[in-house]
Amino acid sequence: MQKKTVRDVDMKGKRVIMRVDFNVPLKDGVITDDTRIQAALPTIKYVLEQGAGLVLMSHLGRPKGEKKPEFSLAPVAAYLNNLIDADVKMATDVVGAEVQAAVADVKPGDVLVLENTRYYNEEEGKKCTAEEQDAYAKELASFGDIFVNDAFGTAHRSHASTAVITKFANESVSGFLLEKEIEYLGNAVANPERPFVAIVGGAKVSGKLEVLTALMEKVDTILIGGGMAYTFLKAQGYNIGGSLVEDDLLTKATEILAAAEAKGVKFLLPSDNLAADAFSNEANTEVVGKEIQDGWMALDIGPETTATYAAEIASAKTVVWNGPMGCFEMPTFAKGTMGVCQAVADSDSISIIGGGDSVAAVNVSGLADKMSHISTGGGASLEFLEGKALPGVVALDDKDSGSCCGTCGCGC
Ligand code: AMP
């Protein structure tokens, strides 16, 4: 079932309550990366252009149900005020009489930013009853004639402001950002152009087990990098020295390798590695093969592996990438990740960068504009690729009756 979007509703003269993902990094009250605010702008501007008033809500960090000023959205409201041609006001709270009065004052073209939704335990449904969470969501829903969800980063959470609110909203539709995420990820899952190559890296196998299992059903090739590679190499009998390993997953790793072989999925592990004698940018380093000597640890894939992976990527038509190839935060160990980044940028494929550290790596590389789609939600994009339904998407209004398009993330 396709979900309704902001294009499917008449907003003129109405008030819209919109969930965005303004969970931006802050240092001493200053926003250090505004990617998420920029990503929400197209829908914010569209709603205002339609002649609606706008009430925005988001979480920021983990205030754990308390009104902690360091988690206030006030710096975001001030930042937004400088970005758009509208008067952006900051509410004193998320709910309550004062906020209700401020909401009533929102006229077409005005913007009011509510305080951090996680100032209340009801947001996540923790330490409260279902009735209390419903009451909180109901009050949020009352702030608009239409509810818009444009927060893909929290779409995998069934929270008051992402999913429960739809029980009480007159109309619930997606914003452009959510729509684009679902379109790219959905098409990759349901109708990928082949060859379909998945690049999976990051620290641990345990964090990516489910996505590896799900991708195995869909892709032609899986390229493994990052710390997780060494659990696989150890499972194959190699000495991995002091490299990151999850000994409790050695059997699982062997099973994954066997499953890939059985399904005819090309499952590539690093053939060479950059080993270091300490976990430090200043460590002594050496390019080694699959064996890592004792006292050394592999912190990046080696040049031969980078070239092999680049060749696979060059022939791909769809690429999904989640997780760095090494400890790219340290320049000494960033070459593998940057090489893969360059290969994805150079390829003609539909490239989807799946949130989290891979997005940070792509941003560091300066190649972000060469990617087809950079997901704004690490956890949400992983769950989508794992084939799980996203509660924040499921809860939105259906466009029309009929059979599921298979790409919408509704899980039907
Ligand atoms: P994840 O959140 O699972 O995607 O993991 C990302 C983290 O994995 C980054 O902070 C990397 O520094 C780290 N990482 C990547 N490769 C390695 C490695 N070979 N050894 C240890 N940590 C790694």
Asked if 268 and 309 touch (Cβ cutoff 8 Å), the reply is: yes
pLDDT at 304: 98
| Three-state SS sequence of the chain | CCECEHHHCCCCCCEEEEECCCCCCEECCEECCCHHHHHHHHHHHHHHHCCCEEEEECCCCCCCCCCCHHHCCHHHHHHHHHHCCCCEEECCCCCCHHHHHHHHCCCCCCEEECCCHHHCHHHCCCCCCHHHHHHHHHHHHCCCCEEEECCHHHCCCCCCCCCHHHHCCCEEEECHHHHHHHHHHHHHHHCCCCCEEEEECCCCCHHHHHHHHHHHCCCCEEEECCCCHHHHHHHCCCCECCCCCCHHHHHHHHHHHHHHHHHCCEEECCCCEEEECCCCCCCCEEEECCCECCCCEEEEECHHHHHHHHHHHHCCCEEEEECCCCCCCCHHHCHHHHHHHHHHHHCCCEEEECCHHHHHHHHHHCCHHHCCEECCCHHHHHHHHCCCCCHHHHCCCECCCCCCCCCCCCCC
Contact residues of ligand 1, CB 6 A cut-off: 202-204, 207, 226-227, 244, 298-299, 323-324, 326-327, 329, 356-357
Question: pLDDT tens for residues 247-278?
Answer: 999 999 999 999 999 999 999 999 999 999 99
pLDDT at 406: 58
Average pLDDT over residues 399-405: 62
Q: Which atom of ligand 1 is nearest to the CA of 225?
A: 16
Asked if 12 and 51 touch (Cβ cutoff 8 Å), the reply is: yes
**Distance of CA 131 from the midpoint of ligand 1 (Å):** 41
Q: What is the average pLDDT value for the chain, to the nearest integer?
A: 94
Give percent of the chain above pLDDT 70.
97
Quick one: 6-178 is in which CATH superfamily? Phosphoglycerate kinase, N-terminal domain (3.40.50.1260)
Q: Residue 215 pLDDT more than 80?
A: yes
To test the ligand 1 pocket, which listed residue (299, 333, 335) has its Cβ within 8 A of the most ligand atoms? Answer: 299
pLDDT at 407: 58
Q: Which atom of ligand 1 is nearest to the CA of 329?
A: 12
Structure tokens at 140: 């949020």
Q: Residue 280 pLDDT more than 80?
A: yes
pLDDT at 50: 98
- Of 221, 189, 222, the residue nearest 208 (C-alpha): 222
To test the ligand 1 pocket, which listed residue (327, 329, 333, 375) has its Cβ within 8 A of the most ligand atoms? Answer: 327
**Distance of CA 110 from the midpoint of ligand 1 (Å):** 43
Q: Which atom of ligand 1 is nearest to the CA of 226?
A: 16
Average pLDDT over residues 100-104: 98
pLDDT at 318: 95
Active site residues: 36, 204, 356, 379
**Distance of CA 202 from the midpoint of ligand 1 (Å):** 4
Q: Which of 69-73, 178-182, 218-222, 399-403 has the lowest mean pLDDT?
A: 399-403
pLDDT at 400: 74
d(CA 158, CA 166): 11
pLDDT at 386: 84
Class of domain 192-385: alpha beta
User: Which residue ranges make up each domain of the chain?
Assistant: 6-178, 192-385
Question: pLDDT tens for residues 346-374?
Answer: 999 999 998 678 888 998 899 999 999 99
d(CA 331, CA 389): 37
Give percent of the chain above pLDDT 90.
83
d(CA 178, CA 196): 23
pLDDT at 394: 92
pLDDT band, residue 23 (cuts 50/70/90) = very high
d(CA 260, CA 9): 46
Do the two domains 6-178 and 192-385 of this chain adopt the same fold?
A: yes
Question: pLDDT tens for residues 45-83?
Answer: 999 999 999 999 999 999 999 999 999 999 999 999 999
- Amino acid at site 78: A
Beta bridge partners of 302: none
- Amino acid at site 210: E
Average pLDDT over residues 340-344: 98
Q: Residue 411 pLDDT more than 60?
A: no
Q: Are strands 350-353 and 111-113 parallel, antiparallel or unpaired?
A: unpaired
Beta bridge partners of 55: 17, 112
